[in-house]
Amino acid sequence: MRIGIGYDVHKLVEGRDLIIGGVKIPHEKGLLGHSDADVLTHAIMDALLGAAALGDIGTHFPDTAAEYKDVDSLVLLKEVKKMLKERSYKIINIDGVIIAQEPKMKPHIPAMRKVLCEVLNLQEDQINIKATTEEGLGFTGSKEGISSQVAVLIDKRF
């Protein structure tokens, strides 16, 4: 078995959709990034790539590449899933946390889990997502951005 961790952060700005875990969340601001800036999905990808010793998302999907401009992060997650499958890895579980002062994530977590389970072909009990605030502290607490941290466990298929 192999463990991986992932972390991602993006700045909140006006004029962008807020996409987290593949779900569009109603909010007056969205996350700034080369892709759709889905912090949870990015952290999941980094954790999976790290567990398989395959580098990080910047290595595979650089923010300087035009083909990834405004790309749906779920498309990239499918590519990471394919990389794992090619190396005979299976995902055991994913545990993630979204750090945001607002909007409240809890109402959207069931939809995120459903989307991620479909993309990764996992059962609901293999993906856990939590959300927290930072009680007004730091860049997330001051509503400047949103971050996510993820841990994953993978294993070889036998």
**For 102-140, what is each residue's pLDDT tens digit?**
999 999 999 999 999 999 999 999 999 999 998 888 888
Share of the chain residues as helix, strand and coil, in percent rounded to the nearest 5: 35, 30, 35
Q: What percent of the chain has pLDDT over 90?
A: 84
First vs last C-alpha separation in the chain: 12
Report CA dihedral (84, 19, 72, 11) to the nearest 10 degrees.
Answer: -90
**Mean pLDDT, range 29-53, rounded to an integer:** 96
Do the Cβ atoms of 76 and 22 come closer than 8 Å? no
Annotated binding site: 8-10, 34-35, 42, 56-58, 132-135, 139
Please tell me the distance from the alpha carbon of residue 157 to that of residue 153, in angstroms, as a whole number: 13
Distance CA 23, CA 112 (A): 6
How large a percentage of the chain has pLDDT more than 70?
99
Is the whole model's pTM more than 0.75, yes or no? yes
Element housing 29 (H / E): none
Q: Is it the case that residue 158 has pLDDT exceeding 70?
A: no
CATH of region 2-156: 3.30.1330.50
**How far is residue 72's CA from residue 140's CA, in Å, rounded to a whole number?**
23
Residue in 50, 52, 48, 76 with CA at minimum distance from that of residue 62: 76
Known binding-site positions for a divalent metal cation:
8, 10, 42
